[in-house]
Amino acid sequence: MVAHAVYPGDPRLRRQADALARAGHEIDLFVLRADGEEAEEQSGSVRVVRLPVSRAFSGFAGHVAEYLAFGGIAAIRLAREHRRRRYRLVQVATVPDVLAFAAAPLRLAGVPLLLDLHEDMPEFYRDRFGRGVRRALLPLVSGAARASAAVADELITVHEPLRQLSIARGVSPDKISVVMNSADPRLFDPRHHPRRAFMEDGELRLIHHSSLQRTYGAEVLVEAVASIGDALPLRLDIYGDGPYRGALEAVVARTGTADRVRINGPVPMDDLPALIAGADIGLVPTLPEPYLQYSLSTKLLELAAMGTPVIASDLSTFRAHFTHDAMRFVPGGDPNALAAAILALAADPVAAAALGREAKRQAAAYDWVEQAARYVQIVERLAAR
């Protein structure tokens, strides 16, 4: 498995590796190496090889250099390891799509390739860099996405809207399947983490967990808390880290909300269910940008699995998976609308509890147990070749 991501920090990689290990397979993961991480480690049948590239994300040139460095090193290391390990399948995750070509030496040796579309690269590029002179590169990015899909034996992606987008771009419907980014029920199990009574201590506890990127809208949360002011005793806990943390801390300082907003940094995945169970409302304020209309936040599914009432941005992919009976949808990027929704739920604990129950019921349809079985079946079918 090759991914421009960190492990075990990436939930999808972790769930996939666990599912394959339980099915009796040996897995090598080729991923980024963050500061302080071991270059290589083994846990059971899962071997993690961290390549000497870290996540810099310093503008357009930084992205390109980082992708090229990671892809080139991954191609060399894959070819070298294959002589010793004799891989039966290579799985490559996007973004970027061109990372699929890191598996070229193994493809020439007859090893099947499974492409896992975590996100849609053309929409990602259009959102991040598709303005000014860089817009001229969009056809090249789209062409690379089509070429990557063409060299793969099969593709999987995270939800049906992205599958349909890939089909519209020329991928055969028979070649692409959905394996959702569902919450792992072994971890996100409300029976093991009982919810606290709504505002039991008189304080409304809000929670948001994500990679701190501008597009995930954490700034909107802080502005909403500032808008509420003294109208309601509350605390907002933000868990995660990322390139937008400094800007977010500046927003907290500017709005004078440091007494109500805590930016706690990243926490281990195993600790998240208890933190979610200890919150009254979960917030998913993703910005309403075109690229994010194809985003289905794993965090949304984790909150729903725990039965936590959720207020989320009104995005088409969110609406495709949950109804208004399960979540309170608000216009993305609007702190005043978010503040009004928070106040409304705080004033009606019965409605809040009903939202949480219905979200949990609807999330059960996307249970990871079923998704994992489908994923392992795809992997074993390709590996059998």
Question: pLDDT per residue over 247-291, tens digit each?
Answer: 999 999 999 999 999 999 888 888 999 999 999 999 999 998 877
Q: Which of 20-24, 241-245, 358-362 has the lowest mean pLDDT?
A: 241-245
Residues 124, 260 within the same domain: no
Q: Which long-range contacts (CB under 8 A, 24 or more apart) does 344-349 make?
A: 345/281, 345/309, 345/311, 346/199, 346/204, 346/232, 346/234, 346/280, 346/281, 349/198, 349/199
Q: For the chain, what is the domain count?
A: 2
130 band by pLDDT with thresholds 50, 70 and 90? low
Residues 177, 48 within the same domain: yes
Residues 169, 84 within the same domain: yes
Question: Would you state the pLDDT for residue 242?
Answer: 83
57 band by pLDDT with thresholds 50, 70 and 90? low
Domain assignment present for 162: yes
Residues listed for the chain: 385
pLDDT at 58 over 70: no
Nearest-Å Rg of the Cα atoms of the chain is 21
Residues 111, 244 within the same domain: no
Domain assignment present for 3: no
Domain assignment present for 105: yes
| Cβ contact 134:155 at 8 Å | no
Domain assignment present for 55: yes
Residue type, 14: R
Domain assignment present for 49: yes
Residues 105, 175 within the same domain: yes
pLDDT at 128 over 90: no
pLDDT at 370 over 70: yes
Nearest to 266 by CA among 199, 210, 332: 210
Domain assignment present for 236: yes
Residues 218, 230 within the same domain: yes
Residues 373, 273 within the same domain: no
Is residue 336 within a helix (H) or strand (E), and if so which, with residue range? helix 335-346
Residues 68, 133 within the same domain: yes
Question: Would you state the pLDDT for residue 87?
Answer: 97
For 125, the domain range is 11-182+367-383
pLDDT at 47 over 80: yes
CATH of the domain at 167: 3.40.50.2000
pLDDT in tens, 214-259: 889 999 999 999 999 999 999 999 999 888 899 999 999 999 999 9
Residues 52, 138 within the same domain: yes
pLDDT at 374 over 90: yes
Domain assignment present for 75: yes
Residues 136, 253 within the same domain: no
Is residue 342 within a helix (H) or strand (E), and if so which, with residue range? helix 335-346
Residues 300, 375 within the same domain: no
Domain assignment present for 188: no
Residues 378, 354 within the same domain: no
